[in-house]
């Protein structure tokens, strides 16, 4: 690690203080890890959480029944578990673990947390994550009021049982989601509204504890000596600065103030060339959603061939090279290729290249011709569409690149409409658009998280597109207990979606970051918390 | 005078109430709502609306807000779950105020100095130097000066820390970057105003009486020319003290500035209202002080009894 | 000079003077109106003339600049991304491979139009309202100033977003969005000046001589605040140019793929580490234009200064 003399001094001081604090222990140099985060952390109440940055902190200061690391499910608060043959009942056996105030972690904590998550009075945004649990949805909607009816029960202090409505073979990984992390009844009842508003108004059972939290400024995590597996925690102190300006974060990194930084897209090519940049998928899958409802003014939107003309006119490789310097990569199908299949990645088991990386202008114009003949339009110049995007520099650049490609290839009018993020949600929700830049980040590591949102009764699907066969395939996949058969059904559904083209796939987002030499073991998952330093180490 | 001040105080309270009411209505007219996100379903939206009392009629929500405000309670943020708006302000304001005071002091002193020098050296190279500095200040906005100062003096030369707010050395670059525009504005207005005053009879009289130049400049010209500078500095001070988004972001200073922008972006109604009321109080106070300063600087100006015939 | 006093004075040397009343009143200096005189003085001021030429050049480039290169301002090109200036691309290219010369001068059209229109309209409204408040004083002043306080304290972002919802994006909307709050600064400035001038001797004299309020304001006060108004106006232009960039950012401003100086500078600042010229070129173009504008404004101020006649 490159350390300026000043920082070295600071570390020495911290080490000195720490050694006084742990009176008796030999004065060792604290192993520190510092990085910057460019997003808001809206809160740390596990059940109320709604954002990935919160989740990053939460998975390090709290631990759920299991811990997911690098895509693998490891035991967490539960030492072991059994799954019933029909895949509907999960029984977890808890280990002897302690909260940071010394009290034991029990199955009742998990029972309380799940009931709290589903309680409509909590108003948890992620309550839908527990709708698969027996009576979860009914309780959250206020249809039933007895929490004992929820299929999540503590059988005794050390045994916790979850009963599902339908099999969810991805459930274990799902439990890493922040809303499933435990919170403790007595603490919440004592702190009431002030729960989790400062570092000392919470209890922790994770590898670290939160020592300091200044809203939108800095968070300091310290190794939790009471954590059940604390010997394997290699960091003594983690400092997280909230820095919004990417160039500033980069300057802090280059001046040695921080150990890890995200690289902005416009600089990605430069750092990639030096070999310093590390990249990984964020899980976000972006596409153009088309409003396919009958529209007398723009009848072409409802035409499948017109939509395919757009899709084939986009040169994904070139568009991403110029708009994101190659940081985002083309998506030639719908589902994120990296999600889990049965044994390997989904795309390895179910390969599909529906579109090509390069545009196919011939094909695009042929589709356009078919559509124009069907609609009796003689001049492509009479066709206009408006593409709704939100007010981010990145979105603007990408839209301008698309606009130029599509107008040049098809000769139609392609307008871009910029609105605020909240207005985009509003307009997208009310189906007040022709085309909208949309996307999805996965909640769990399974193709279902992507495929299910195109069901005809799903609130996210505002395109007006609905397909009976598609709906049936998704529904039967939910009932299917055999993993491979389940994925077969989802693959069929994916193909229907692409063939019908209510959406035009664009790209898979990636993030680029770099760490100072000596920092090892950082994992950037694409589901849930996007940063995992639980097993990270730094050189002394 | 005492009656005038009392009257102004009373009117200030009414102004703040008016401001809060107007903003209360305006934020509700903004497209979208605090909860909307990619994943929100109608059922969960209903739970959230009930939790925050948004399911009640708007006038009841308004009365409740005003009632709480009268007790000094600004409510809870929506984005930052359970975080009292008062705490958000209390935690971030000191940083903004610290940076703001440094900036206003530096910008007004140097700005007035440059303006005076420019006015006294009309047509000479020194004037053009002052103009160049001033024009650079107004044609390069804070996002450019901020980034450039950080890149060259922070990262490349290493004279100052690139960001964060810890010691005096950390304050230098943000103060400079934030001062630039105000400094330019003040110096331009000061120069123009000085020139207006130079031709006045009392300045000519003073010169004819043989007063030393320094005394003329100080006692007669600056004092009479400073009025417009005071006018522009009033609102600028209020704005800078309560946080500036761009400079605070570039230098990662934990001030209030970002909460205005994030508040509006996230439609965090309570944060927007709380911060606007806070800023409004500063602004009204600043303009109040400006009006009082008018009378102190130029005793001929009276505000209390309107038109003098 | 060959004239020397003759040794003797003889009567032939003298001519009787005709006692003609008309001739006695005749003026040797050609009679000039205030504006003619100002124009003459302005033309004689070399700095102001040069500045005017620079501004005209800039306007010309805005008109014909984009047509001088074979590239469209909107055509992207993956083969030349972020290319520094060279023989083909005089100002280099941006991140999408678009020619920056074409984009800079296309942007100049929007920015100059918006900058001047917004600044002029703001000044006009500001003069009327500020003049009214300052001159009438009393209750009128109090009410107008408190309304101004409320308007000024409303976060601009809220106003801009609401306008975006109501208006269609376009030039008029952008100018309207700037004018809606922009006049306040000028109004406060003019009010302060009018308050100070109201009790000056010449105003009192004019009033005692029976001049109407209208005449006092327009013949005496406005010309005496003109210097400040011009300074304020020249400073308001760059402010408007950068406000446009902010408005574009939230969707009200220039629509893709159009460009503006503010947007170019904004993107340049972000991409500064990759391609510094993307920041320097717009910054220099803006600065030169603003420098010319301000120097021209100074010249105009001097030319219009009744005391320097």
Give the angle C27-C28-C33 at the CA atoms, nearest 5°: 65
CB contact under 8 A, A441 and B38: yes
Who among C78, C250, C270 is closest to A266 (CB)?
C270
What range defines the domain where residue A330 resides?
A: 281-511
From chain A, the residues in CB contact with C247 under 8 A are none
B299 to chain C, closest Cα gap in Å? 9
Average pLDDT estimate for A188-206: 92
From chain A, the residues in CB contact with B266 under 8 A are 40, 422
In a domain, A7, yes or no: no
Cα-trace Rg, chain B: 24
| B267 touching chain C per CB within 8 A | no
CA C243 to chain centre: 15
From chain B, the residues in CB contact with A528 under 8 A are none
Average pLDDT estimate for A505-519: 94
Probe site for chain B from A36, A53, A125 (most B CB atoms < 10 A)? A125
Tell me: pLDDT of A17 over 80: no
Find the distance separating the first CA and the last CA of chain A, reported in whole Å. 8
Tell me: pLDDT of A15 over 50: no
B189 to chain C, closest Cα gap in Å? 7
Q: Are residues A338 and A292 in the same domain?
A: yes
Please say whether the beta carbons of B243 and B256 come within 8 A.
yes
In a domain, A264, yes or no: no
Question: CA dist A318 to A275, A335, A403, Å?
Answer: 22, 21, 13
CB contact under 8 A, A429 and B266: no
* Chain B residue with minimum CA distance to C268: B144
For C103, what's the count of Cα atoms within 13 Å in the CB-facing half-sphere?
30
In a domain, A114, yes or no: yes
Please say whether the beta carbons of B138 and B211 come within 8 A.
no
Return the axis-axis angle of helices B125-139 and B85-120, rounded to nearest 10°: 160
* Chain A residue with minimum CA distance to B45: A125
Q: Partners for C (CB, 8 Å, 3+ pairs)?
A: A, B
CB contact under 8 A, C251 and A267: no
Alpha-carbon distance of A119 to A129, in angstroms, equals: 13
Please say whether the beta carbons of A442 and A526 come within 8 A.
yes
- What is the DSSP secondary-structure string of C141-170? HHHHHHHHHHHHHS-HHHHHHHHHHHSPSS
**How would you class A419 by CB atoms within 10 Å of its CB: exposed for 0-12, middle for 13-18, buried for 19 or more?**
buried
Which of C276, C253, C269, C300 shows the shortest CA–CA distance to C115? C253
B162 to chain C, closest Cα gap in Å? 15
CB contact under 8 A, B147 and A215: no
Residue with more model confidence, B23 or C138: B23
Probe site for chain C from A315, A400, A416 (most C CB atoms < 10 A)? A400
pLDDT tier, A337 (very low <50, low <70, confident <90, very high otherwise): very high
Tell me: pLDDT of A14 over 50: no
DSSP B75: -
Q: Are residues A504 and A524 in the same domain?
A: no
A-B contacts (CB, under 8 Å): 152
From chain C, the residues in CB contact with A323 under 8 A are 95-96
Alpha-carbon distance of C28 to C19, in angstroms, equals: 18
- Residue A52 neighbours by CB under 8 Å, 6+ apart: A39, A441, A528, A529, A530
Tell me: pLDDT of A26 over 50: no
What pLDDT is recorded for position A22? 44
Give the angle C155-C159-C162 at the CA atoms, nearest 5°: 140
Q: Are residues A81 and A217 in the same domain?
A: yes
Question: In b/e form, how buried is each residue of B33-45, taking b as 16+ CB within 10 angstroms?
Answer: bbbbeebbbebbb
Alpha-carbon distance of C201 to A33, in angstroms, equals: 71
Question: CA dist A254 to A515, B162, B174, Å?
Answer: 10, 10, 19
Q: Are residues A314 and A349 in the same domain?
A: yes
Is the previous residue joined to C257 through a cis bond, with omega within 30 degrees of 0?
yes
Q: Are residues A394 and A480 in the same domain?
A: yes
* Cα-based torsion angle of the residue sequence A118, A124, A129, A133 in order, rounded to the nearest 10 degrees: 0
Backbone angles phi, psi at A52, to 5 degrees: -65, -40
CB contact under 8 A, C196 and B298: yes
Question: CA dist C13 to B132, C4, C8, C16, C23, Å?
Answer: 60, 14, 10, 10, 22
Tell me: pLDDT of B204 over 80: no
Handedness of CA A98, A104, A107, A108 (dihedral sign): negative
Tell me: pLDDT of A20 over 70: no
Tell me: pLDDT of A448 over 60: yes
Who among A128, A215, A247 is closest to B91 (CB)?
A215
CB contact under 8 A, B31 and A420: yes
What are the pLDDT digits (tens) for B49-99? 999 989 999 999 999 999 999 998 999 999 998 899 999 999 999 999 999
Probe site for chain B from A9, A120, A123, A457 (most B CB atoms < 10 A)? A123
Provide the token pair at A200: 């000392």
In a domain, A262, yes or no: no
* Chain B residue with minimum CA distance to A243: B252
Model pTM score: 0.87
Provide the token pair at C35: 């504006």
Residue with more model confidence, B305 or A491: A491
Q: Are residues A50 and A160 in the same domain?
A: yes
Provide the token pair at A323: 């708009």
Alpha-carbon distance of B87 to A215, in angstroms, equals: 10
Who among C235, C265, C269 is closest to B185 (CB)?
C235
| A96 touching chain B per CB within 8 A | no
The DSSP bridge partners found for residue A238 are A33, A221
Q: Are residues A91 and A182 in the same domain?
A: yes
Provide the token pair at A220: 């300091």
Who among C137, C153, C162 is closest to B276 (CB)?
C153
- Give every residue of chain C whose pLDDT is below 50, as ranges: 1-2, 309
In a domain, A447, yes or no: yes
Alpha-carbon distance of C236 to B54, in angstroms, equals: 41
Tell me: pLDDT of A160 over 60: yes
- What is the DSSP secondary-structure string of C70-97? SS-TT---TTSSSPPS-SSSTT-B-TT-
Tell me: pLDDT of B307 over 50: no
Residue matched to tokens 């140099």: A29
Alpha-carbon distance of C292 to B19, in angstroms, equals: 40
From chain A, the residues in CB contact with C78 under 8 A are 318, 321-322
Q: Are residues A229 and A288 in the same domain?
A: no
Average pLDDT estimate for B269-274: 93
What pLDDT is recorded for position C76? 85
| C276 touching chain A per CB within 8 A | no
Provide the token pair at C109: 């059209």
Q: Are residues A227 and A322 in the same domain?
A: no
Average pLDDT estimate for A44-73: 92
Residue matched to tokens 């030039």: C171
For A222, what's the count of Cα atoms within 13 Å in the CB-facing half-sphere?
13
In a domain, A334, yes or no: yes
In a domain, A52, yes or no: yes
Who among C142, C200, C286 is closest to B11 (CB)?
C142
**How would you class A354 by CB atoms within 10 Å of its CB: exposed for 0-12, middle for 13-18, buried for 19 or more?**
middle
Please say whether the beta carbons of A30 and A236 come within 8 A.
yes
From chain A, the residues in CB contact with C273 under 8 A are 247, 250, 267, 270
Residue matched to tokens 């959603």: A289
Who among A194, A255, A421 is closest to B265 (CB)?
A421
Who among B42, B147, B267 is closest to A247 (CB)?
B147
What pLDDT is recorded for position C39? 81
A-C contacts (CB, under 8 Å): 73
For B125, what's the count of Cα atoms within 13 Å in the CB-facing half-sphere?
0
CB contact under 8 A, A416 and C255: yes
Pick the range with the lowest mean pLDDT from A210-214, A407-411, C235-239. C235-239
From chain A, the residues in CB contact with B150 under 8 A are 247-248, 251
Which is it for strands A435-440 and A278-290: parallel, antiparallel or unpaired?
antiparallel
Q: Are residues A206 and A147 in the same domain?
A: yes
CATH number at residue A36: 3.40.190.10
Mean pLDDT of all residues in chain B? 87
| B230 touching chain C per CB within 8 A | yes
From chain A, the residues in CB contact with C257 under 8 A are 400, 403-404, 416
Say how many domains are in chain A: 2
Please say whether the beta carbons of A242 and A216 come within 8 A.
yes
CATH number at residue A312: 3.10.105.10
In a domain, A257, yes or no: no
* Chain A residue with minimum CA distance to B49: A123
Which is it for strands A32-37 and A66-69: parallel, antiparallel or unpaired?
unpaired
| B209 touching chain C per CB within 8 A | no
| C162 touching chain A per CB within 8 A | no
| E strand segments, C86-203 | none
Q: Are residues A409 and A467 in the same domain?
A: yes
| B24 touching chain C per CB within 8 A | no
What pLDDT is recorded for position A25? 45
- Residue A271 neighbours by CB under 8 Å, 6+ apart: A263, A277, A512, A514
- What is the DSSP secondary-structure string of A126-137? TGGGGTTBTTHH
From chain C, the residues in CB contact with A387 under 8 A are none
Q: Are residues A305 and A448 in the same domain?
A: yes
Tell me: pLDDT of A155 over 50: yes
Q: Partners for A (CB, 8 Å, 3+ pairs)?
A: B, C
Average pLDDT estimate for A191-218: 92
What are the pLDDT digits (tens) for A66-117? 999 988 899 999 999 999 999 999 999 999 999 999 999 999 999 999 999 9
- What is the DSSP secondary-structure string of A191-219? HGGGTTSSTTSS---SSEEEEEEETTTEE
- Residue A206: CB atoms within 10 Å: 25
Residue matched to tokens 């000024």: C152
pLDDT tier, A242 (very low <50, low <70, confident <90, very high otherwise): very high
Alpha-carbon distance of A496 to A344, in angstroms, equals: 23
CB contact under 8 A, C188 and B232: yes
Tell me: pLDDT of A209 over 60: yes
Who among A123, A243, A247 is closest to B50 (CB)?
A123
């Amino acid at each position: 690690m490159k350390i300026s003399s000043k920082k070295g001094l600071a570390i020495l001081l911290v080490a000195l203080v720490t050694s006084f604090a742990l009176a008796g222990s030999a004065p060792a140099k604290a192993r520190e890890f510092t990085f910057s985060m460019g997003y808001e952390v809206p809160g740390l109440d596990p059940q109320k959480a709604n954002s990935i940055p919160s989740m990053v902190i939460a998975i390090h200061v709290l631990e759920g029944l299991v811990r997911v690391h690098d895509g693998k499910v490891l035991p967490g608060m539960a030492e072991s578990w059994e799954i019933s043959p029909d895949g509907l009942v999960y029984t977890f056996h808890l280990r002897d673990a302690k909260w940071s105030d010394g009290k034991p972690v029990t199955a009742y904590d998990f029972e309380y947390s799940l009931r709290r998550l589903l309680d409509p009075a909590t108003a948890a945004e992620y309550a839908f994550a527990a709708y698969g649990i027996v009576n979860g949805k009914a309780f959250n909607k206020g249809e039933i009021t007895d929490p004992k009816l929820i299929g999540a029960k503590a059988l005794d202090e050390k045994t916790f049982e979850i009963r599902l409505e339908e099999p969810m073979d991805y459930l274990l990984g799902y439990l890493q989601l922040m809303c499933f992390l435990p919170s403790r009844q007595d603490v919440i009842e004592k702190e009431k509204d002030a729960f989790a508003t400062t570092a000392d108004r919470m209890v922790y059972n994770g590898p670290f504890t939160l020592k300091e939290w200044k809203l939108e400024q800095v968070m300091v995590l310290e190794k939790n000596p009471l954590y059940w597996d604390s010997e394997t925690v290699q960091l003594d102190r983690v400092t997280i600065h909230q820095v919004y300006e990417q160039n500033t974060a980069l300057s802090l990194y280059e001046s040695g103030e921080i150990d890890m930084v995200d690289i902005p897209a416009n600089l990605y090519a430069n750092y990639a060339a030096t070999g310093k940049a590390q990249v990984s998928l964020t899980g976000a899958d972006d596409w153009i959603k088309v409003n396919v409802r009958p529209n007398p003014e723009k009848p072409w939107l409802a035409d499948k061939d017109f939509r395919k003309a757009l899709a084939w006119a986009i040169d994904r490789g070139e568009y991403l090279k110029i708009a994101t310097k190659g940081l985002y990569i083309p998506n030639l199908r719908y589902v994120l290729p990296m999600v889990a299949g049965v044994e390997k990645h989904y795309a390895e088991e179910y390969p599909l290249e529906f579109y090509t990386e390069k545009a196919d202008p011939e094909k695009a114009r042929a589709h356009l011709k078919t559509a124009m003949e069907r609609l009796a339009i003689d001049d492509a110049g009479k066709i206009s569409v408006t593409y709704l995007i939100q007010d981010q520099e990145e979105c603007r650049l990408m839209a301008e690149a698309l606009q130029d490609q599509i107008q040049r290839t098809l000769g139609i009018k392609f307008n871009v409409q910029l609105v605020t993020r909240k207005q985009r949600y509003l307009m997208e929700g009310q189906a007040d658009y022709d085309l909208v830049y949309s996307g999805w980040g996965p909640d769990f590591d399974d193709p279902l998280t992507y495929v299910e949102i195109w069901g005809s009764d799903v609130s996210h699907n505002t395109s007006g597109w609905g397909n009976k066969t598609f709906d049936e395939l998704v529904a039967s996949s939910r009932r299917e207990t055999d993993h491979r058969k389940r994925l077969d059904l989802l693959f069929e559904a994916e193909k229907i979606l692409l063939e019908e083209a209510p959406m035009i796939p664009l790209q898979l987002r990636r993030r680029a970051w770099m760490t100072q030499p000596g920092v090892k073991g950082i994992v950037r998952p694409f589901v849930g918390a996007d940063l995992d330093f639980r097993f990270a180490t730094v050189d002394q | 005078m005492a009656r005038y001040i009392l009257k102004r105080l009373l009117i200030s309270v009414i102004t703040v109430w008016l401001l809060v009411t107007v903003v209360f209505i305006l934020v509700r007219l903004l497209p979208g709502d605090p909860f909307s996100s990619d994943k929100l379903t109608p059922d969960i939206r209903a739970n959230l609306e009930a939790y925050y009392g948004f399911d009640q009629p708007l006038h009841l929500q308004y009365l409740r807000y005003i009632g709480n405000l009268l007790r000094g309670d600004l409510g809870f943020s929506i984005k930052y779950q359970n975080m009292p708006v008062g705490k958000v302000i209390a935690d971030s304001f000191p940083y903004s105020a610290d940076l703001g005071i440094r900036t206003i002091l530096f910008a007004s002193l140097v700005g007035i100095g440059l303006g005076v020098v420019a006015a006294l050296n009309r047509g000479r190279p020194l004037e053009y130097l002052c103009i160049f500095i001033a024009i650079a200040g107004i044609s390069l906005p804070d996002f450019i000066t901020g980034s450039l100062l950080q890149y060259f003096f922070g990262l490349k030369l290493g004279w100052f820390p690139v960001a964060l707010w810890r010691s005096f050395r950390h304050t230098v670059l943000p103060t400079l970057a934030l001062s630039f525009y105000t400094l330019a504005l003040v110096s331009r207005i000061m120069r123009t105003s000085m020139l207006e005053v130079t031709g006045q009879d009392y300045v000519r009289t003073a010169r004819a009486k043989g007063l030393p130049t320094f005394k003329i400049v100080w006692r007669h010209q600056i004092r009479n020319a400073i009025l417009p500078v005071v006018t522009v500095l009033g609102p600028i001070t209020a704005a800078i003290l309560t946080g500036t988004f761009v400079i605070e972001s570039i230098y990662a200073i934990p001030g209030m500035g970002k909460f205005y922008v994030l508040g509006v972006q996230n439609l965090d109604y309570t944060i927007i209202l709380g911060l606007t009321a806070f800023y409004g109080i500063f602004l009204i106070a600043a303009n109040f002080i400006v009006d009082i300063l008018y009378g102190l600087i130029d005793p001929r100006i009276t505000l209390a009894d309107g038109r003098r015939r | 000079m060959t004239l020397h006093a003759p040794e003797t004075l003889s009567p032939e040397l003298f001519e009787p003077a005709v006692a003609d009343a008309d001739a006695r009143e005749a003026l040797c200096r050609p009679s000039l109106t205030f504006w003619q005189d100002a124009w003459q003085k302005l033309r004689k001021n070399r700095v102001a003339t040069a500045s005017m030429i620079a501004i005209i050049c800039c306007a010309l480039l805005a008109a014909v600049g984009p047509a001088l290169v074979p590239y469209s301002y909107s055509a992207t090109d993956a083969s030349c991304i972020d290319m520094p200036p060279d023989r083909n691309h005089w100002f280099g290219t941006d991140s999408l491979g678009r020619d920056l010369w074409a984009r800079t001068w296309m942007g100049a059209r929007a920015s100059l139009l918006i900058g001047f229109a917004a600044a002029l309209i703001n000044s006009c409204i500001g003069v009327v309202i500020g003049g009214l408040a300052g001159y009438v004083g009393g209750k009128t002043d109090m009410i107008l100033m408190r309304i101004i306080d409320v308007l000024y304290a409303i976060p601009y972002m809220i106003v801009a977003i609401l306008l975006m919802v109501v208006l269609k994006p376009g030039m008029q909307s952008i100018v309207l969005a700037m004018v809606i709050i922009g006049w306040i600064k000028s109004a406060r400035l003019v009010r302060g000046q009018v308050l100070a001038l109201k009790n000056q001797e010449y105003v009192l004299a004019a009033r005692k001589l029976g001049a109407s309020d209208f005449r006092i304001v327009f013949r005496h006060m406005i010309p005496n605040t003109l210097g400040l108004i011009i300074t304020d106006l020249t400073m308001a232009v760059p402010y408007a140019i950068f406000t446009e960039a902010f408005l574009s950012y939230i969707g009200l401003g220039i629509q893709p793929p159009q460009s503006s100086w503010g947007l170019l500078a904004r993107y340049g600042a972000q991409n500064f580490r990759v391609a510094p010229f993307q920041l320097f070129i717009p910054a220099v173009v803006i600065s030169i234009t603003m420098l010319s504008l301000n120097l021209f404004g100074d010249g105009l101020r001097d030319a219009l200064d009744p005391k320097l006649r």
